[in-house]
Every structure is written in structure tokens, then in C-alpha cells.
Amino acid sequence: MKKFVIVFVFFLIMHPILSIEIPDSTKMRTNNINLSYGFVSGGSIGIGKIQPFGKSTKEITANFHYQMNSDYFVTGVYGQINSYRNKQRVGFFTLFRAGLDYTKGKEYQNPIFGIPGGPNEGDYDKKKFEGTFPNLVIGCGYSIKLSQNNRMLIYLDLGLKKTFSNLNLSVTF
């Protein structure tokens, strides 16, 4: 119930931001909203700014993410910078992410990285842990233009975080 209340309050606070409309869809937006799903690290929602620089463009986004499974949950905030080599924000891009995560739960031996591939149920004793961890990531991906202002991003990241690496699917509008 507590988790439901936290998510409900978050969306209640975010509702005015999510309702922003730009009347003329032919103009390039200077702000964006993204929804991401990491196949290993859960979902996130973010708001940000699009900054063109000559022939390139950067998306600078502040994100809130949440993941829960049977052994632990992770929540946190991070900033992410996607760097494109064109103004249209399509094609390949690189990313950098920095933030802080709070995690709590049970883990096999190492509370930061776990065991690659996952252990068998009886191989290790689960240990309880709770604390904050850095979220420092680099990655690369590909952006597909869906409409004038909407993009779908597929990217792989790697870094110091709870899940070490992750494949993400994101929609930016």
C-alpha cells in the first residue's frame, strides 16, 4: 500500500508537467518528456531540455526511476545527457548518466552487483542490505523518429549501478 501511495503522489505532482502542450507542432520543441523501460532495471520518467549546438543536439533530462522485484527494490534520481550528431535527433547517439539510488532488500553476497547470471536458489545465503549507491553510466543507442516531436530510443548502457548493464526502450515526446 505504501508503494502505491508513493507512485500516486508522484503522478499527482507530475500531472501538470505531463499536461504541457505546444500549440504549433511544426516548431522544434525545446523541452521534452520521456518514458523509459529498462529490461533489467525497471521504469523511469523524466523531463528535460533539448539544446541544439551548431550541427549537433543534446537532450539533458532529469529522471526518476523505480524497480521492484521479489528480492529488492531500487529508486533514485539521475541526470542523463544524450548527444546526437544532428539537429533532428535521429540515428546513433551517446549518453552519460549520473545520479544516486536508494536500494533495500535481500541480495546474494555482493549488494551492489550481485552474481552475474544469478545463483541457484540454494547456493548462497541472502543477506539483507539497505543504502545509497551511485548511478554512473555511459552508453550508446539509436533514435527513431516517430513524428515531428516524438522519438523512440533503444540504447544499451554500462556502468556503476545496481544492474551494471541494461537494454532500454524509451519514448520521448
How many other C-beta atoms are found inside a 10 Å radius of the C-beta of residue 166? 20
The DSSP 8-state label assigned to residue 23 in this structure reads S
pLDDT the model gives residue 85: 93
**pLDDT for 91-146, tens place per residue?**
999 999 999 999 888 765 454 545 545 555 555 556 777 888 899 999 999 999 99
Domain positions in the chain are: 30-172
**Spatial separation of the C-alpha atoms in residues 137 and 25, rounded to whole Å:** 33
- Domain 30-172 top-level CATH class: mainly beta
Of 63, 51, 53, 58, the residue nearest 83 (C-alpha): 58
